[in-house]
Each structure stands twice: as structure tokens, then as C-alpha cells.
């Protein structure tokens, strides 16, 4: 699910629940050329995983089903034919080739192509003859050539468009399926939808929707158009550019709660300084008044910061459950999870960072002896050699290989030798890890590696020196 779709669903859900309404899930699949197998399952899986349970929908039913537009196909044509009989729509037999020619001619004149109502003036007898002959056709809306079409949006206020600028949009396609625009008008009315929340790319189409409502004499729903989510000041968050899907971020190691919290704040402000919300808290706080008219910039760094904060707040058991697949990937799943949690949870921003942070535990990387040099710890290869010669026998004699025993032994040895702790621990950590930066210090690493592997690495380090 695209993050823009997720936000639309989220705001709809929050608004409905905040006001004691019903959240309806409808699958809009009339564009069969763009149909993707399994997409409906992704919608179900995504909304359920977040906790956004719908009150009516394809899988649970309701009083206004079916809730899949392709399963409602038979109901749309009669409404379109009613408009034809009333002169508010008409059959169009123009072929794709004819339309392309007219479109090219308009472009050559420097004009924007608009359908010229060519088939509107066809006689009734001619229409019936061509229908009887089985010629392909579409049904077009007969938009008035004068006057204005208007609507009131909760966010943008009153919007009016000159009818002369509007195209006669297709209502029923040649395959018998309704267009997205027509199906939504019919479904919103017949399902009793009171509020429609969607992206502001539909602002230009809504006047034509309202002409249809007027044509049928139906009450219009309240419209709430949302500003787009932008990748930067010039570009929308695009599916083509990648990184636009909810599951992409889950796969990158972000927590679903953090994603939802962040997406909720893309175009809505709670009116105070709060940044962290559970879904229940979002329901309580959400209001239309907090929605913005300005586009929202998707800042992955802000999302990462928020995700890190969510990770810090996990219980050790919850952190370990999320981290375990990444432990397995890094080859450390069998190591002490209490220690791993303690050293990794404060440092993890997204879970996919974990393998790179701990891969040295599974296999000692190749390293050069210059890593033993550290000015702050006052160590160099010569000092490191002396330290390891002291440490290895002490650790070989250690009866219990526990973090507490390692801590006591190593710090006790430093005190006994009159060394700073860092002077003794730096060479030990380099020999154990083969890198200068590690989560956790020498004692945690040795406890995770165990006696045999730790001593093997320490002896290898001594041989290098």
C-alpha cells in the first residue's frame, strides 16, 4: 500500500471513529488494465496489521454490498441509461483512432483537446441502429456548455469551474465497466456515504461529480481533499521513485506503529506539541481543523528518528522478538539475547542496522595491528601485546565465564597493574572484535562469544603482535 493511500485510509478511519461513524472498505477495481493480482490481500493485511478494522467491507459484508466494484458491474449501466434518456448523457461511438486524430489536430493548433460532443447530435434512430449492430460504444456525461459547476470542500472552501472548460467524461467504458469517476458517485450514494476523504488530485474532477449528483437529484457527500505527500518541494512521493510503500519500510526495519504515527502527522497537526500517538490517541485527537492546506514533505530522517524513539520504548522481550530475524541473518541468534538487547536497543534506529552492528560476533573480520593504537586509551601495539599477555592466562583460569566474572577479572587486573581501565580494555576489545567501534565493550563481547571463541581470538591477536 502506497503511503499516500495509507494516509487517506488512516484519516478516514480516524475521522469516522472520532465522530462515532462507520469506516467503510470498498475495493475500487473497475480499471481492469491496472488490476494487480493480490493487491486486495495487501490492503486487508496492511489495515489489519495497523488495527484499522473496517465496519463494512468485502470480507465481512454489510447492508450495502457487494463492496467490490467489479461485483457491482450490473448496477451501473441502468443509472447511465437513465441519464441518456434524460439528455444528461449520450452514447459515443467514436473510435480510438478518430479520437487520436482529433487530439493530434488540437495539439497542432496549440489547444488542449476536449471532446467535441460529436456523437451528442446523432439521431435516435442512428444510435439505435448502431447499438443493434453491436458497434462498440461508451456513454459520456453531457456537461452543460454554459454556467458553472461548483462544490464546497471542507479544507479548500468553495470551488467553482466554468462548465465550458469541462470535458464530457466517460461514464461507462467499452467493456461495460464504469469509470472510476462514475462508479464512485453511484456507490457513494447507494452506500449512504456521508464524507469522502481523498487526495487533492481529484479536486478538478469533483465539479463533474456534482453535476452527476444534480442530474440524479441526490444529496452530495461532504468532500475533504487532502494535500499531497511530497518527496521534496518539487516532487510527489512517487511509486515510480521507490520508497513509497508501507511494506517497503517494514522490510527496512521500521516499526508499523512508528510509520503510522509519522504518516498521521503528514498533513495534520494535533494543535499542541505532542508527537507520539497510539492509534487510540490519534482517534481522540483527530480533527478536520488540524488538517493542512500545504503539501507535506516526507522526511525519511524524521521517520528514522521517530522509529528509533519507538524502539527505545520497547520492552526487552518485544525488542528481541523484532530483532530475532536480524540476529539469525547475522548468525548470532544463539547468543545471549539479554546482552544483545542491552547493547543494541539504545543504538538501533531501524532493525536492518543490526546485522552490520554484530556481524563481527559471527566471524572475526580481518584487521591490522594499527587498530590497537588509541591515544585516548594510551595504547599501541607494544602496549597491547603486554596487555594480552597478562589477560589471556587470567581468563584461561576463570572458573565461570559470565559477564560479571569477566568484568570483575578484567577491571581487577587493571587496578592490580596500575593501568587505566581503557588501557587494558581497548586491546582486549580489538582482539575480540577486529574493529574499533562496537556495540558493547570487551566484557559483553567476551560473554557473547563464550570462553573458547574468546580465547581463540585473543590468542590470534597476540600472535599478530
CA 332 to chain centre: 30
Residue of 96, 239, 376, 464 marked active site: 239
**Whose grid coordinates read 536497543?**
345
Strand partners, 367: none
Residue count of the chain, please give it: 465
Cell digits of residue 289: 481543523
Instruction: Spell out the alpha helix ranges (H) of 1-72.
Output: 3-18, 39-50
Which ranges of 94-205 would DSSP assign to H, the alpha helix?
96-108, 124-132, 180-190
* 239 catalytically annotated: yes
**Which residues are catalytic, by number?**
239
Amino acid at each position: 500500500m502506497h503511503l499516500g493511500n495509507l494516509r487517506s485510509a488512516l484519516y478516514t478511519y480516524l475521522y469516522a471513529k472520532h465522530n462515532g461513524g462507520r469506516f467503510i472498505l470498498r475495493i475500487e477495481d473497475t480499471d481492469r488494465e491496472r488490476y494487480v493480482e493480490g493487491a486486495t490481500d495487501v490492503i486487508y493485511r496492511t489495515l489489519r496489521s495497523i488495527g484499522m478494522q473496517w465496519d463494512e467491507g468485502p470480507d465481512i459484508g454489510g447492508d450495502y454490498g457487494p463492496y467490490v466494484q467489479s461485483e457491482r458491474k450490473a448496477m451501473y449501466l441502468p443509472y447511465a441509461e437513465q441519464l441518456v434518456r434524460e439528455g444528461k448523457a449520450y452514447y459515443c461511438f467514436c473510435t480510438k483512432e478518430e479520437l487520436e486524430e482529433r487530439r493530434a489536430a488540437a495539439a497542432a493548433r496549440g489547444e488542449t483537446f476536449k471532446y467535441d460532443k460529436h456523437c451528442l447530435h446523432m439521431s435516435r434512430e442512428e444510435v439505435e441502429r448502431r447499438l443493434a449492430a453491436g458497434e462498440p460504444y461508451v456513454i459520456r456525461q453531457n456537461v452543460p456548455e454554459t454556467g458553472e459547476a461548483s462544490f464546497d470542500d471542507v479544507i479548500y472552501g468553495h470551488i467553482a469551474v466554468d462548465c465550458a472548460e469541462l470535458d464530457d467524461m466517460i461514464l461507462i467504458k467499452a467493456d461495460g465497466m464504469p469509470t472510476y469517476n462514475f462508479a464512485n458517485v453511484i456507490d457513494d450514494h447507494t452506500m449512504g456515504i456521508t464524507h469522502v476523504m481523498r487526495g487533492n488530485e481529484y479536486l478538478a474532477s469533483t465539479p463533474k461529480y456534482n453535476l452527476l449528483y444534480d442530474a440524479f437529484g441526490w444529496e452530495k457527500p461532504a468532500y475533504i481533499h487532502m494535500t499531497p505527500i511530497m518527496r521534496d518541494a518539487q516532487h510527489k512521493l512517487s511509486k515510480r521513485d521507490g520508497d513509497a510503500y508501507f511494506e517497503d519500510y517494514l522490510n527496512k526495519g521500521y516499526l508499523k506503529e512508528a510509520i503510522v504515527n509519522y504518516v498521521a502527522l503528514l498533513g495534520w497537526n494535533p494543535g499542541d506539541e505532542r508527537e507520539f500517538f497510539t492509534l487510540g490517541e490519534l482517534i481522540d485527537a483527530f480533527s478536520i481543523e488540524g488538517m493542512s492546506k500545504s503539501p507535506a514533505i516526507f522526511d525519511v530522517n524524521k521517520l528514522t528518528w521517530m522509529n528509533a524513539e519507538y524502539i527505545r520504548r520497547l520492552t526487552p522481550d518485544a525488542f528481541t522478538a523484532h530483532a530475532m530475524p536480524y540476529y539469525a541473518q547475522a548468525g548470532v541468534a544463539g547468543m545471549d539475547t539479554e546482552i544483545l538487547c542491552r547493547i543494541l536497543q539504545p543504538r538501533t534506529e531501524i532493525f536492518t542496522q543490526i546485522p552490520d552492528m554484530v556481524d563481527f560476533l559471527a566471524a572475526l573480520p580481518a584487521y591490522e595491528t594499527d587498530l590497537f593504537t588509541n591515544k585516548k586509551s594510551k595504547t599501541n601495539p607494544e602496549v597491547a601485546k603486554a596487555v594480552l599477555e597478562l589477560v589471556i592466562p587470567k581468563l584461561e583460569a576463570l572458573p565461570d565465564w559470565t559477564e560479571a566474572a569477566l568484568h570483575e577479572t578484567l577491571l581487577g587486573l587493571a587496578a592490580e597493574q596500575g593501568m587505566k581501565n581503557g588501557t587494558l580494555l581497548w586491546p582486549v576489545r580489538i582482539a575480540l572484535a577486529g574493529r574499533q567501534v562496537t556495540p558493547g565493550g570487551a566484557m559483553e563481547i567476551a560473554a557473547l562469544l563464550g570462553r573458547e571463541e574468546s580465547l581463540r581470538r585473543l590468542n590470534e591477536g597476540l600472535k599478530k603482535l
